[in-house]
Structures are given as structure tokens and as C-alpha cells.
Amino acid sequence: MAQEGWTVVTILGMALVSLLSRGFFLLPEREWPIPGWLKEGLRYAPMAALAAIVVPETVLTQGQLLPLWQDPRIYAAAAGAAWFFWRRDILGTIVSGTVVMLALRLGLGW
């Protein structure tokens, strides 16, 4: 089979796997019973995924730890966390972190 044929087969296979894995929960007639321990674990999945993405991006650059006193990401994350624990407001968390980041990048040239 030519290279183009394998490409088409690969794309169709990936589309089929994606369709089945995403649509699998829509197929049953009734809801499946989920054990309590799994429900409890799934409550923390979004937070764990967010931490797995945000923490390395905040404290690493090219696989190395940041110089803590020269990078605005640390201060922006600290400001955002402080705002969240003070006000419990997501929009304010984003705005405060962004303001600190921009102030340090534009003002101090970090």
C-alpha cells in the first residue's frame, strides 16, 4: 500500500477510536452504577490535571528550576493564589496574577 493509503487508514482509525471512546458513555440505555470510591476520586481529577499543567509551567523553564527572585511567574502565581484565598473569586485571581506578571515584565523588564 502506498504512503497515502496508510495515511488515510491511520486517520480513519484514529477517528474511529476517538468516536468510540467519546461516545461510549452515550450508548447504554441506562446509567451505569459507579462505586463511591470512584466518584470520590473523580471529584479531584480536574484539580489534579490543572496542577499537573500549571505547576511545572510556573516553576520550570526548559526543564530547570527557575531562579526564584528573577522570574515574574512565581510572583504572579503567588498574587493569584493570595487573591483567591482572600476573596474566593476566579476572575480576580486571573486579573491579579496577570497584572503582577505584566507589571514585572514591562516595569522591571523581567
Which pTM does this prediction carry?
A: 0.59
Domain boundaries, the chain: 1-31, 32-107
One digit per residue, the tens of pLDDT, for the chain of length 110 reads 678 889 999 999 999 999 888 887 777 778 878 899 999 988 888 889 888 998 898 888 888 887 777 889 999 999 999 999 999 999 999 999 999 999 999 988 88
Distance CA(97)–CA(83), nearest Å, equals: 9
The answer for residues whose C-beta is within 8 angstroms of residue 79's C-beta and 6 or more apart is: 96, 97, 99, 100
